[in-house]
Amino acid sequence: MDTTNLVLGKSTTYQEEYSPSLLQRIERQLGRSAIKNLKSFEGFDVWHLYELTYLNLNGLPCVCMGCMIVPAKSKYIVESKSLKLYTMSFTMTRFKDLSFVQKVFERDLSKLLECKVEVKLYPLHSKDFAIHTIKGTCLEELRCCKDLNFKNFEYSPEVLAFDDKKEISKTYYTNLFRSLCPVTAQPDYASLMICYEGRKLKEESLLTYLVSLRHHQGFHEQCVELIYSDLVSYLNPKKLTVAAFFTRRGGIDINPVRTNQKSLSPLMLRTIRQ
């Protein structure tokens, strides 16, 4: 991956005057090309923004939180550090009100990614940023998984195993997921949720597979697409949704969702570690 022109992993100077030129984008295909059996999907990426501040017309500092939704079919993703620098450039710039800031934000991101990006900004008292618990079966708390011996921490989809005689509808999740940034090799942590209908997964094999991605280097979106594609390849489910809720870095968290359900609404869920 050519990262020569990206600000990610490089020392930077922070600007405090509004500057959309700080934004950078990355082609999704750079990550997807590394997935051997990439499957088709629907989905979106939900980004939570926690460190937004600007000045009102009287010069009074205002603070808010934000959420932006990017369709998975967009050609580009925004480079996360450039997004942080962009949001910081609002710090000493005067805007009419929160609604105007939201329109500016939405316009700039939609232009950058060449698609419709939905942006919502909220005051601090908004309940939209309330913490929720993932509903489902926690893999690491299952009796069959508690005594497992984990020795392999390199990507191993072949460990996935199924019961051909049973079909179920189930939601699993784990709070143990970790991967690595493909540019800086810094660790990324997430809670991961898998909802599916189809052949019964052997639960210990699913946790073993997810743990095997501990040294995998990929952007958040690529990690979810890899897991989704592997489950489609090995499971061929009637229904499948894979969602990851990554912990924040630089005041931003990223939550990719990939599914074979055409009508799935964005999962506006924030976990306790976010």
**Residues belonging to the active site:** 181, 188
Burial class (CB in 10 A: 0-12, 13-18, 19+), 58: exposed
* CA 220/CA 260 separation, integer angstroms: 19
Q: Which of 206, 272, 192, 274 is CA-nearest to residue 234?
A: 206
Which amino acid does the sequence have at 214?
Answer: R
Q: Which of 66, 78, 79, 184 is CA-nearest to residue 128?
A: 66
Q: Is 102 helix (H, G, I), strand (E, B) or coil?
A: helix
CB 239, CB 69: distance < 8 Å: no
| Token digits of residue 90 | 């609002």
* CA 211/CA 227 separation, integer angstroms: 12
CA angle 29, 31, 33 (to 5 degrees): 60
